[in-house]
Amino acid sequence: MARLFGTDGIRGVANVDLKPTLAYALGRATAHELLRGGGALVVGQDTRRSGGMFVTAIAAGATSLGADVHLAGTLPTPALAFLAGSGDFGAGIMVSASHNPAEDNGLKVLDARGMKLDDDREDALEALIWRSEELGGPRNAGIGRVCDAPDLLERYRSARLGLAGTIRTDLRIVLDCANGAGGIAAPEILAATGATVEVIYNQPDGVNINVECGATAPAALAREVVARRADLGFALDGDADRLVVVDRRGRVVDGDQLIGLIALDRLRRGALRNGIVVVTVLSNGGLEAAVGAAGGQLVRTPVGDKYILEGMLVNDANLGGEKSGHVIVLDHGSSGDGLVTGLELLGVLDRANRAVNELAAEIPLFPQEQRAVRVRHKDQWEGDPVLRRAIAEAKVRLGSGGRILVRPSGTEPVLRVMVEGPDAETVRELADGIGTLAGERLH
């Protein structure tokens, strides 16, 4: 049986692969595993129509084991992480599939620190899910209570407004909220810096989250930035834990360059703890070269923001991220937060008094290509001798200056292929070839 938890919780097509019965079992398992020592459960959701169904099921499961459940309503994932780690709760569950298509949903479990669970804790929780009905439950007087608590969002909003108040800018920003949860707070918080914020895609209807907008489809934002002659564009994803940036010419700023310019600014100010930036194995070698040349160090982890956070804690670092725009600034929270990333960037631009494209150009990247191949058997690629031989031959062609990474996605039924090397044409050819072969072999 495939593992329930991927790199970002449990995900699937809502009411098809991911059913409310599983959410109910997760509520019971979470109450048993994480709340035995006391404390309530805080639950939030993004703007998907299926969210209410899953929230109700989680609450039913947790209260059936005696846990009180506080329903925070629609809010960004980083806001739920902020609340879970506030000291008032024993755990949190966020109902969101983040950047995934609107028909998907997901269940992310956070501990009392607001952090995702490590693999061993997830395995223990998963074992409890499958036998959740064996956990028993109290009679009426011991059943937990459900509390509607939409005002909890104000705690997060207040903290981010405080951060925004330390930054001053007069830039014109187009903000794409992806018809997601970020639209509830992001416009006000960004405007608190003095920026002029023009908002697009902030009319969620339950089915339009991430649809041709947001961080996964920044072309729409790019067109608006150019048309409105704005200085900058910010695109959140559906739960606002990541940010994609567009410059004034409508060009997307590479996620590794975004991490890099924040890191270099912090190095200059002595604000990069231990001089370390934590990234995944997918981050570009050019970022490593730029940070190293400035006196810093890059530490790599497996793909997934929970592994980045683990790497940050182990190395006592305060900055880490993925090239997708998922950036963690530990000074302000334990979760990737698109708003914090945007505020960090605005601070960098203010201090440098330069445009984002100029700063990004100081971090030249090596040619790199990524392919996401939709397959039925994503976990079987290592057992295919033809595919393994093709990858080995490609590595020989790239030489010592190149890298190839092949891995199954932790959130989607796809195999991800990354090729990096000194020659752009060769890199593109090899990425296409491996991607096509994988599609044929693992269909």
In 3D, which of 230, 267, 3 has the Cα closest to residue 120?
3
CA distance 224 to 230: 8
pLDDT band at 242 (very low <50, low <70, confident <90, very high): very high
> What sections of 92-193 are H helices per DSSP?
119-130, 153-164, 186-191
What does the pLDDT read at residue 60? 98
Query: Looking at 50, 64, 96, 98, which residue is catalytic?
Result: 98
Q: How confident is the model at residue 241 (pLDDT cuts 50, 70, 90)?
A: very high
pLDDT in tens, 15-64: 999 999 999 999 999 999 999 878 899 999 999 999 999 999 999 999 99
Q: What is the pTM of this model?
A: 0.90
Q: Average pLDDT for residues 168-172, to the nearest whole number?
A: 97
Is pLDDT at 377 greater than 90 in this prediction? no
Task: State both tokens at 30.
Answer: 């979470």
Tell me 211's DSSP state. T
CA distance linking residue 75 with residue 183, whole number of Å: 9
Which domains are seen in the chain, by residue range? 10-153 (3.40.120.10), 169-247 (3.40.120.10), 255-360 (3.40.120.10), 368-441 (3.30.310.50)
135-139, 144-148, 330-334, 407-411, range with greatest mean pLDDT = 144-148
Q: What beta strand segments (E) does 118-253 contain?
A: 146-148, 172-176, 196-200, 232-236, 243-247
How far is the C-alpha of 398 from the C-alpha of 289, rounded, in Å? 19
407 pLDDT higher than 60: yes
Task: Quote the pLDDT of residue 412.
Answer: 74
Which of residues 386 and 107 earns the better pLDDT score? 107
pLDDT of residue 1: 56
Phi, psi of 9 (to 5 degrees): 85, -160
What is the SS3 assignment for 387?
Answer: helix
Question: For a pLDDT cut of 90, what percent of the chain falls above it?
Answer: 85
Lowest mean pLDDT among 34-48, 264-278, 330-344, 372-386: 372-386
Task: Assign 66 a pLDDT band (cuts: 50, 70, 90).
Answer: very high
> What would the mean pLDDT of 266-275 be, rounded to a whole number?
97
Respond yes or no: is residue 64 known to be catalytic.
no
Say whether pLDDT at 313 is over 60.
Answer: yes
CA nearest to 403, candidates 255, 260, 283: 283
Q: Based on C-alpha coordinates, what's the Rg of the chain?
A: 22
CB contact at 8 A, 235 and 176: yes
pLDDT digits over 70-113, tens only? 999 999 999 999 999 999 999 999 999 999 999 999 999 999 99
Report the Cα–Cα distance between both ends of the chain, in Å, rounded. Answer: 19
pLDDT of residue 308: 95
Q: Are 247 and 356 spatial neighbours (Cβ–Cβ below 8 Å)?
A: yes
